[in-house]
Structure formats: C-alpha cells, structure tokens
Amino acid sequence: MGRRMIYDHFFRSAVDTLHDERRYRVFTTLERDVERFPRAIWHSSDGPRDVVVWCTNDYLGMSRHPVTIEAAMRTAQRMGVGAGGTRNIAGTSLPIVELEKSLARIHGKEKALVFTSGYVSNETGIATIAQLLPNCLILSDAQNHNSMIEGVRRSGAEKVIFRHNDLAHLEDLLAAAEPARPKLIVFESVYSMDGDVAPIHAICDLAERYGAMTYIDEVHAAGLYGASGGGYAEEVGALERLDVIEATLAKGFGCIGGYLAASDLIIDAIRSNAHGFIFTTALPPAIAAAAHAAVEHLATSSEERRRHRTQVARTKAVLNAAGLPVKLNPTHIVPVIVGDPELTKRASDMLLMEHGIYVQPINYPTVPRGTERLRITPTPFHSDDLIDGLADGLVAVWQKLGLPLKPQAAAA
C-alpha cells in the first residue's frame, strides 16, 4: 500500500462511521437575500429553489438591518477589509474599542473584550480565568455548550458537573468543596436546544453563600432579552450579581465574534493571558462597526424584541394547536420533538423538498438520543402566513411519516 492509501484508510473509516451512526452531515447551500429574509434560494443538486428558512440564529434579522449593512460598508470603504494584525500588534481598530464600550454598558460591566467568535471567547475565557485562580474547582452545568466544555478541559482545573439546572446538586457540590478554595460556576442563561432558562438569581445566591465566582453564557439571549438587549440577566435584574458574562455577536446582533464582559480588573488580567485572544488576528473593523451599530440599535429600540416575541408566541400556539409535539419553554426557541434520528432527517428532507421549508434536523450528539428534533427559530420577519404554512407543512409530514399528533388536532 502506498503512503496515501494507508492514511486514506483512516479517513474513509471515519466517514463510514459517520454514515453508520447517521451522523454524516449534508450542508444546505443558501443564497440569503436582504430584501426577502427569511426567504432564501436553496442551491440544491437539482438547481435553485425558493425556501423559507426556519432555523436561523440570526434571531432578530440584524444581519440584514440597514444600520448594520451601512456601518459595514462605510467602514470597509474607509478602513479596508482586514484588521491587519492581532490586538497587540496593529489590530486594535477604533470600531472594536467603541464596540467594547457599548458591550460593557449593556451588560452593566466596566469592561468588555471582543474575540473572534463566541466559541473562542468561551474556550479561551474559561480556560484563562480558571488558570488564574490557584487550585480552582469548576462547577459546570451538564448541558453546557461544547465551547464551555473545551474551556473547562483546557484549563486543566478540576471540574465537577452538576445536573442541568439542579440547584440542590450544585449546592451539594459547593458544600463538599474546601471553603477557601477558588470556585467557578459555569452555566448558560438560555439553553439553545430546549430553550429553557437557568435560575440565575438562585445560582448567584449559592455563589455568594459558598464564595464562588459566576460565569454565564448569554449567547442565545444577548440582544434578545432585557430592556437594553443585555440578555436574560438584564431581563431578570441579575446583571450586577454575575462576575463574567460571555456572549456572541453572531446571533442576536447578526454579525460574527464573541466577547466577555466583566470588571476592569478581570478583563485586564484575561487580555494579556488568553491565548485565543492574543495569538490571532483581530475582528475586521467593518464587522466591529456593524456589530457596534447592532448593539447600539438594540440598546434603544425594543421594536425587534417585541415583534420577535409576538411571532414566537404565535408559532408556538399555532403548532401546538395543530397537535405537534412542541416542547414548551419561556424563550424564543421552538423545539418540535421527533425522538428518532432517521425520522427527524426524513421530516427535514420532506419539509425542504416538498414544502420549501428549511429546518435542519438536530440529532445526537447535539441532543441526547431519543430526543432528536426540529429546532425552529421564528424571527420578527416570519409573517403570520409563513407560520400557518409551517404548521401545514409539519402536519402533512407528520401524517406521511405516521408520527403521532395530539388527539385534539386529529379530531379537528
């Protein structure tokens, strides 16, 4: 066997495993359209087709808002496309500095620090914080995102995992730890797959009682909740109680990038120690300017949040009334549970091909086996007609696949 054949053997077997385990991913190529959002052109193997996108994380449509587009274009024309360097070496552009000021303000913190993505901010943020605390014990929620898990891992600190949102379990673990030992509680506000929320105040109570630091991921909440878009912590009045707030610029704010917001001192310590911040090129000025425009817009305009909530509530009500197994929660995420990977994939394929509805199947390992689902994310731009069309499409697919609908709908 030649050299290449030997190595190819391993990659072939990796791809085969993905197929065997039904985890092989097929990407859906979209041509997004500012004017027709959330409609897009799907470039299928049979040619272009019009679809309605129902699984975007551009939750408020800020990627296509005139203020973000205009800021990006104007800044790219003035400052060029690339940042030109790391933050330490020529990459700290004025728009990034302005963006960080705005982010700190909406989260009620002294300082913010922008990273390449939310993934990087979690991974390098958690790792760095835990490394700066001697003999740190990390207490991590069982449903934390992969980027947080990788940060915990990379810190090298000892970790204990508490059952998802289980305060009694968290308290047991805190009580069992040596009182003087530094402790870091790591959790999310809005959990992305079920759309449930953390008991933020109760976790802060425990942190205060047992002398722990708190680190919250607001990736699925920043821009969407709170009067200034400061996330779920702002919504429930807990901003001041949290030590470190992490979030993304890629979802509610419609751009790309991630950040941490915390005290001046914490950010100062992280900035010169976090490898994922130091050794990489800064966010381009045009993106920083666009994100800044989005943050500033959502800090004063509640129109997007209001309309978003209305359309989310309507989507949940219409799907539920149609007998579909919607997992109810207090947030903007609408999980429709199928409970089988093959059927979830088929439901998604049929929706796309037969109804022009694009919603990606969510399978293991993103969610536990047996809870495979369609994760639907309405935006303020999904009209009532589109919501009705989604319900019709789902019901038709459910019937064709022999999936159960709740009885009141079967009778209707």
Q: What are the residue numbers of the active site?
A: 251
Closest CA to 100 of 90, 114, 110: 114
**Part of the chain binding ligand PMP (CB under 6 A), chosen from 111-119, 290-298, 313-321, 369-377:** 111-119
Q: Is 363 in the site for ligand PMP (CB under 6 A)?
A: no
Give the residue with the Cβ less far from ligand PMP, 182 or 229. Answer: 229
- What is the sign of the dihedral through the CA atoms of 210, 211, 217 and 221? positive
Of positions 122, 189, 228, 363, contacts ligand PMP by CB under 6 A: 122
In the bound complex, what is the minimum distance in angstroms from residue 181's beta carbon to ligand PMP?
Answer: 27
The residues, any chain, with a CB within 8 Å of residue 398's CB and separated by 6 or more, are: 324, 347, 404, 405
Q: 185-211 as b/e, with b when 16 or more CB fall inside 10 Å?
A: bbbbbbbbbbbbbbebeebbebbeebe
Provide DSSP, 353-381: HHH-EE--EE-TTTS-TT--EEEE---TT
Q: What is the DSSP letter of 283?
A: P
Q: Is 147 in the site for ligand PMP (CB under 6 A)?
A: yes
Give the residue with the Cβ less far from ligand PMP, 122 or 320. Answer: 122
Residues 188-227 that bind ligand PMP (CB under 6 A): 188, 192, 217, 219-220
Task: Give the CA dihedral 404, 408, 411, 412, nearest 10 degrees.
Answer: -110
User: x/- site string to ligand PMP, residues 154 to 193, per CB under 6 A?
Assistant: ----------------------------------x---x-
314's tokens:
């309507």
Give the residue with the Cβ less far from ligand PMP, 55 or 132. Answer: 55
Task: Give the CA dihedral 200, 203, 208, 213, nearest 10 degrees.
Answer: -90
- Coil vs helix vs strand at 146: helix
Q: Is 124 in the site for ligand PMP (CB under 6 A)?
A: no
In the bound complex, what is the minimum distance in angstroms from residue 336's beta carbon to ligand PMP?
Answer: 19
Q: Is 117 in the site for ligand PMP (CB under 6 A)?
A: yes
Q: For the chain, report the end-to-end CA distance as a whole number of angstroms.
A: 65
The upper half-sphere exposure of residue 281, i.e. CA atoms within 13 Å in the direction of its Cβ, equals: 8
Give the residue with the Cβ less far from ligand PMP, 60 or 219. Answer: 219
The residues, any chain, with a CB within 8 Å of residue 329's CB and separated by 6 or more, are: 194, 195, 196, 197, 335
In the bound complex, what is the minimum distance in angstroms from residue 101's beta carbon to ligand PMP?
Answer: 20
In the bound complex, what is the minimum distance in angstroms from residue 247's beta carbon to ligand PMP?
Answer: 8
Beta bridge partner(s), residue 214: 185
**Part of the chain binding ligand PMP (CB under 6 A), chosen from 1-9, 115-123, 302-310, 311-319:** 115-123
- What's the rounded Cα separation, in Å, for the pair 155 and 148? 11
In the bound complex, what is the minimum distance in angstroms from residue 171's beta carbon to ligand PMP?
Answer: 24
- Coil vs helix vs strand at 229: coil
Q: Is 118 in the site for ligand PMP (CB under 6 A)?
A: yes
**Part of the chain binding ligand PMP (CB under 6 A), chosen from 37-45, 59-67, 113-121, 200-208:** 113-121
Give the residue with the Cβ less far from ligand PMP, 52 or 190. Answer: 190
Residues 225-264 that bind ligand PMP (CB under 6 A): 248, 250, 258
**Part of the chain binding ligand PMP (CB under 6 A), chosen from 21-29, 118-126, 260-268, 390-398:** 118-126
**Enclosing H/E stretch for 17:** helix 3-20
Give the residue with the Cβ less far from ligand PMP, 187 or 398. Answer: 187
Q: Is 145 in the site for ligand PMP (CB under 6 A)?
A: yes
User: x/- site string to ligand PMP, residues 27 to 66, per CB under 6 A?
Assistant: ----------------------------------------
Give the residue with the Cβ less far from ligand PMP, 190 or 213. Answer: 190
Whether 305 and 60 have beta carbons less than 8 Å apart is answered as yes
**Enclosing H/E stretch for 158:** strand 158-162
In the bound complex, what is the minimum distance in angstroms from residue 135's beta carbon to ligand PMP?
Answer: 27
- What's the rounded Cα separation, in Å, for the pair 348 and 25? 13
| Chain positions contacting ligand PMP, by CB under 6 A | 117-119, 122, 145, 147, 188, 192, 217, 219-220, 248, 250, 258
